Amino acid sequence: MSYLADGLPKPVPAPDGLDAPFWEAAANDKLVLQKCASCGKFQWGPEWVCHRCYSLDLVFEEVEPSGKIYSYERIWHPVHPALKDQGPYIVVLVEFPNHDDVRIVGNLVGDPEQPVTIGDPVSAVFEHHTDSDPEFTLVHWQIAK
Amino acid sequence: MDRSVRGKVAVVGVGETKYYKRGQAPDAEFKLALMAVIEACKDAGISPTKVDGFASFSNDRSDPSHLAAALGIDDLRFSNMQWGGGGGGGSGAIANASAAIATGIAECVVVFRALAQGQFGRFGQGPVRDVIAGDAAHTVPYGLMSPAQSFAMKVNRFMHDHGVEQEALRAISLASYHHAQNNPRAVMYGRPLDEEKYDNSRWIVEPFHLFDCCLENDGAAAMILVPAEKAKDFPHKPTYILSAVSGSHYRAGASVHNTPDYGTSTFKTTAPRLYDMAGCGPNDVDVAQIYENFTGGVLMSMVEHGFCEADGCNEFFVKENLIAPDGKVPTNTSGGNLAECYMHGLGLNIEAVRQLRGESTNQVKDPDISLVASGPMVTPVSSSIFGTEATL
């Protein structure tokens, strides 16, 4: 069962291919982030050029799918018809301290009314929507045991 | 060479349509824009044919060439859109118009904003579509899609870092509603707010209750800017631009919430430039209009404009400090975006002028310096400072 009700827009790779490796990796239970092959630093969201050294030689590198909660929010008021009966849900901003502090957004699985503490460690949960057209995978998070 | 707009440009006319609840304007958006421009010209005592420039922001749909045709303008010289920033562009449009006037590119520029959300789309709703790509693909499928949802996460981080309590946000909302009760133009006129009503209101997204969020409205507002040396040819007491700046910090626009300095209104780099140009500091500001997209944005903006220390918010943000006429920093004295009207912040600039003319419905006693901060967190952000003749 998915964390959020079905019917939200489904993520697809950008037509220009910029973030395609991220979605391909997620479909295979892997987390990849964009890294500059020249200066070795990570950046996110994906860009066409390294914002530090302007190298065009950017790659996607697999990283351990764990980070910590940098910020979060509990949403109560739905702004999309698919979430009309959803009730509250939690969005977390997860930071990767070992990967130049880049951050990604996901949902925090579990009780939507659970207390959330900034700084808590989390690990990824890959939510596959294989019966969807097109298929897609969301990268969620759970409090690390 | 003095590379500044300080004292070189004056606001000589302001105009607004009636303000309506979202979707309830009886008129088309373009007609609302024309009505506000005509009102501002009437206020300035000039014929609209003498306007020679338009400046707006947030991709306003009322095209200057069409406006100039509809108004029979003799000689259009300046047609300008502040790029990006949504409501963050309000003071940026004033900066652009001022720059054009100070450099002789134009002589009489209208800064305006018109909105009819019934005719066009709403701000506060997510996209209804089958698939989504690009930056939004990394947020929307997780249910993060409205401005409130985009900015609550920043405010939560700021509140965490500085131990800010919910009551600080509440005070900002109470002040706006307090002022609106004296302002017959305000959409929330006759609808007061107290602590209990705020506390019992539903959550939109924590830490924002319903009353922490701006309205969505229909209407239009316009201001007329001319060279300072002509300011006394017009009927009202002139108000001078002391400063107007816009911008954003290092990688403020990094996608998927990746700006390194995250819990901020984005005024840390612009506010020092604002005060430098104006030649004054926060202690000199008599009255402030701080854009309320959400109360958390006001809180961080006031910290970053130097009215309060980040770790002192719980003490500073009490209603008494924020209300006219005697508060420490009377703030959002028209009722602002929470309770007067959400005209994307241009109404705040008009209220700043009204205070200096002595015409506010919540008048501060003899103010000389009036500050506006536009669109916290919506980068590039902007702010402006207006002064009376005594400040020149």
pLDDT tens sequence across B141-159: 999 999 999 999 999 999 9
> CA A18, CA A47: separation in Å to the nearest integer?
7
CA A9, A13, A19, A20 torsion: positive or negative?
A: positive
Domain that holds residue B54: 9-119+213-391
Going residue by residue through chain B, which has 392 residues, state the pLDDT in tens, using 9 for 90 and above: 679 999 999 999 999 999 988 888 999 999 999 999 999 999 999 999 999 999 999 999 999 999 999 999 999 999 999 998 889 999 999 999 999 999 999 999 999 999 997 777 777 788 889 999 999 999 999 999 999 999 999 999 999 999 999 999 999 999 999 999 999 999 999 999 999 999 999 999 999 999 999 988 899 999 999 999 999 999 999 999 999 999 999 999 999 999 999 999 999 999 999 999 999 999 999 999 999 999 999 999 999 999 999 999 999 999 999 999 999 999 999 999 999 998 888 999 999 999 999 999 999 999 999 999 999 999 999 999 999 999 99
| Mutation choice for B interface testing from A12, A68, A79 by most B CBs within 10 A | A79
Q: Is residue B335 part of a domain?
A: yes
Contact status, residue A90 vs residue B150, Cβ threshold 8 Å: no
> How many CB atoms lie under 10 A from the CB of residue A37?
12
- Residues of chain A scoring pLDDT < 50: none
Closest Cβ opposite residue B258 in set A44, A77, A138: A44
Q: Is residue B143 part of a domain?
A: no
Q: Is residue B319 part of a domain?
A: yes
Q: Is residue B266 part of a domain?
A: yes
Domain count within chain B: 1
**Model-level ipTM above the cut of 0.95:** yes
Q: Is residue B344 part of a domain?
A: yes
Q: A 14-43 residues with CB below 8 A of B?
A: 14-15, 18-19, 23, 43
Q: Is residue B156 part of a domain?
A: no
Q: Is residue B137 part of a domain?
A: no
- The set of residues, in sequence order, having a beta carbon less than 8 Å from that of B233 and lying 6+ positions away, is none
> CA A81, CA B57: separation in Å to the nearest integer?
30
Whether B153 and A91 lie within 8 Å, measured CB to CB: yes
Alpha-carbon distance B309 to nearest alpha carbon in chain A (angstroms): 22
Q: B275 catalytic, yes or no?
A: no
Q: B198 catalytic, yes or no?
A: no
B204 near A CB under 8 A: yes
Provide the mean pLDDT of chain A: 97
DSSP string, B173-225: HHHHHHHHTT-TT-TTTT----HHHHHHSPEEETTEEGGGB---EEEEEEEEE
Whether B133 and A103 lie within 8 Å, measured CB to CB: no
A11 near B CB under 8 A: yes
A8 near B CB under 8 A: yes
B124 near A CB under 8 A: yes
CA distances from B155 to B15, B83, B151, B248, B301 (A): 34, 25, 6, 17, 11
Active-site entry in B19, B198, B240, B291: B291
CATH number assigned to the domain comprising residue B35: 3.40.47.10
Q: Is residue B132 part of a domain?
A: no
